[in-house]
Structure 1
Amino acid sequence: MTRGTLYGGTRLHPRHVRDRQFTTVGFGRRGLNPREVRRFLHRVALDLAALHHDLALLSEENARVKRALRTWQSAWSERRQP
């Protein structure tokens, strides 16, 4: 599995978690409590949304730092030439 892929080659996004449906099994105590599952999935979706936001900010900062480094390198090489 490659980095960032899941569910048929797409990244796992908050909407995948929020929209996930589980089948119910039996009655009474068998199976999962749908309310607990939904609460947990909502919590996971919020965490994923925050992580995607942080990743976008870091990618922007990384691009900014790379541009600044290239500018500095160009300016430095021009100063060193006789």
Structure 2
Amino acid sequence: MDRVTSAAVGAGAQGSTPKALGAAGFTSGGIAAGSTAAKMMSASAVASGGRVGAGSLVSACQSKGASGASKGKK
């Protein structure tokens, strides 16, 4: 998945229903292997020289997923 597609999917996941976060792979247990979230994380790390920046789209989505938002919790 290219970076533009990843960003579009992530933007949709971040702003939409909690189920979308989980479906994309942003879960309370971390980013799910092989998921869209994992591909986004990989693309972000490659683009940033090996790290995922704080405040990035991937970071924001994972923060919501880790907080339980992907299961419908606030």
Fold shared, TM-score > 0.5 on shorter chain: no
TM-score normalised by length of structure 1: 0.27
Bigger RCO (CA 8 Å, 6+ sep):
2
Pick the structure with more strand per residue. Answer: 2
TM-score normalised by length of structure 2: 0.28
